[in-house]
Chains A and B, each alone.
Chain A
C-alpha cells in the first residue's frame, strides 16, 4: 500500500474515532467536565482554602495541572480501550483486518483518536479551571509536548487492554485497579516532599508522577523531579508499549484465530 493510501487509511480511522466519541459526547466529554468541576470546587475551593500554599502557590493553582492531566490520561485510555474492544466485540475490526491497511496504521489511527479525545477533554477542563484560578503557562512547548506524549502513552495502554479483554468487565479492571490508584498517588494533589523518605522513593516508581510533575512545571514552573528524566521515561514507555501493541496486532492476539 502506497504511503498516500496509508495516510488516507490513517485519516479514516482518526475521523471515525472522533465521530464516535463526539456522537456520544454525553458519555465521553460531559462527565469529565462535571467531575473535574467538582474537584475544583471541593478540593480547590473548600478544602484547598484550609490547606494554604504549596510550593509558593495556592492549593487551587497547585492541583490544576494534575487535574487537567488526569482528565487527559483517563480519557485517552478510555477512548481506545472502549472503541477497540467494541470493534472486536461487534467484529467490525474485521473491516480493517481484511483491508490492505498495515497494522501500524491501524494502531496509529486508534492512538490518534485517543489523543484527540484526551486533548479535547483536557482543553475543556482547562477552560473550566479558568473559572476558578488564573492560569499562566510557564513553558508552552513543554506543556504541549507532555499533553501529547501522555495521551499517546495511555492510548497505547488502552489498546493493549482492549486486545487482551475478553469481556466488558476486562476493560474496566485496569482503569479501576491500576490507573486510578497510580493517578491519585502520582502527585496530583500533593508534593512528594510531604511524604516520608521511604514513600518518596516508592512514589518514584510511579510513571504518572513524572508526567504530572513535568506538566506542572510546564504550567506553573515547579516540579519534584528532573524534567529530562520525565521526558526520557515517558518516551521510553511509549516506545515499549508501541512495540508491544504492534506485535500483538501482528500476531493477531484476540482478533485472529
Chain B
C-alpha cells in the first residue's frame, strides 16, 4: 500500500505560546478520499499549512509520498495541490493567467499550461470566464478557480480546505461529482469541511481533530456503525389526534401530519411500520432527523472535552 501522507508527532507552537498541534500522527493512503474534521481552531488549517509548507512546524515529521518536508521539500511539494480556505489569488489577474502562472511555478511551459488550463476550465464550467478578472467572478466560481489552479500540475495529493464554503447547493453537488471523478482516477484527496454531510457522502476515511489532538481516526463506515440510535422523521397521510402507544419505540408528534421516532440500532425498522399499521397510520415519506456523522461528531467532541 502506497502512503500518500505520513505525519508523525507533529507539533506547532505559535510565537504567542499557543499550542495549535500537540503531537499528531496521521497516515493517508494513496487513492483515499480522507476527511479531516474538527471545530474551528482545532488545528486543521495549521496541519494543512504545515503540509503545504506555508506554516513552519515546531517538531515532528511530514512525508508526502515518502518525501520528507525537511530533506526533500521540492520533491514533496511537486506532489501537492492545495485549495485553501481563503481566496488567495490575485484578484486583478485574468482567470486563465492565474492558472497558467501556477503551472509555470511547477516548471510546465506556457503552451502546455494553456492547454491544461483550458481543459480544467471547461471541466469546471469556467471556460467562458477565462479572460475575466478574477475579482469579477462569483463566490462559487472563485472556489472552482482555486480547484482548477490546484490541479493544473496534476498533483497526486489534493488538499481541500473547506472547498464548498459559501457555495450554493447545485454548484456544491457539481463540485462533489468532479472531486469523486478525480479521486476515482487516482488522485488522493484530503478534505476539511464543516458540512458533515459532505464528508459522509464523499470520504472513505476520517480523522477528527480537536484542541490540537487527533481524537478519532478510522473509516467512515466504522464510525457510523457506532451510532446506537437514529431519529427518523415520518410524514403521514392523515392527521392523528393523539400519539399512538408503540411497543419499544419512543415516538413524538411534531404536528398533526408529522411524527418523530427514535430507533435503536438493535431494533428492526420493519417492526415500527407494522406497529404503525396496527394504529392505521400510513407513512408517506421518511428521513433522518439529523446527519448521522454530525451526531457522532458532536458526541466525540463532547466526550473528548469531558
A residues within 8 Å of B by Cβ? 1-2, 4-6, 8-9, 11-13, 15-16, 19-20, 23, 86-87, 90-92, 94-102, 252, 256-257
Q: A19-B97, A97-B54, A256-B56 are in contact. Are A102 and B105 (CB under 8 A)?
A: no
Interface residues on B, range: 35 or more
Q: Which residue of B lies closest to A12 (CB)?
A: B104
A95 and B102 form a contact (CB under 8 A): yes
B104 and A8 form a contact (CB under 8 A): yes
B14 CB contacts on chain A under 8 angstroms: 257
Asked whether any CB of chain A lies closer than 8 Å to the CB of B224, the reply is: no
A100 and B54 form a contact (CB under 8 A): no
Q: Which residue of A lies closest to B89 (CB)?
A: A92
B89 and A95 form a contact (CB under 8 A): yes
A92 and B104 form a contact (CB under 8 A): no
Q: Pick the residue among B74, B98, B105, B108 that contacts A96 (CB under 8 A).
A: B105
A90 CB contacts on chain B under 8 angstroms: 88-91
A5 CB contacts on chain B under 8 angstroms: 106-107
Rounded to whole angstroms, the CA-CA distance of A246 and B52 in the bound complex is: 20
B105-120 contacts to A, CB under 8 A, are 105-110
Rounded to whole angstroms, the CA-CA distance of A94 and B108 in the bound complex is: 18
A91 CB contacts on chain B under 8 angstroms: 84, 86, 88
B129-148 vs A, Cβ < 8 Å mask (1 yes, 0 no) = 00000000000000000000
Known: A23-B92, A100-B75. 15 other contacts (CB 8 A): A8-B104, A9-B105, A12-B100, A12-B101, A15-B104, A16-B93, A20-B93, A90-B91, A92-B90, A94-B82, A98-B53, A99-B153, A100-B78, A256-B56, A257-B49
A99 and B88 form a contact (CB under 8 A): no
Interface of A is mostly: helix
Give me the 7 closest cross-chain CB pairs, A-B, nearest first. A5-B107, A12-B104, A99-B105, A91-B88, A100-B74, A100-B77, A92-B90
B86 and A99 form a contact (CB under 8 A): no
B residues within 8 Å of A by Cβ? 14, 49, 52-56, 73-75, 77-78, 80, 82, 84, 86, 88-93, 97-98, 100-110, 149, 153
Q: Which residue of B lies closest to A91 (CB)?
A: B88
B90 and A87 form a contact (CB under 8 A): yes
A95 and B101 form a contact (CB under 8 A): yes
B110 CB contacts on chain A under 8 angstroms: 8, 11-12, 15
A92 and B105 form a contact (CB under 8 A): no
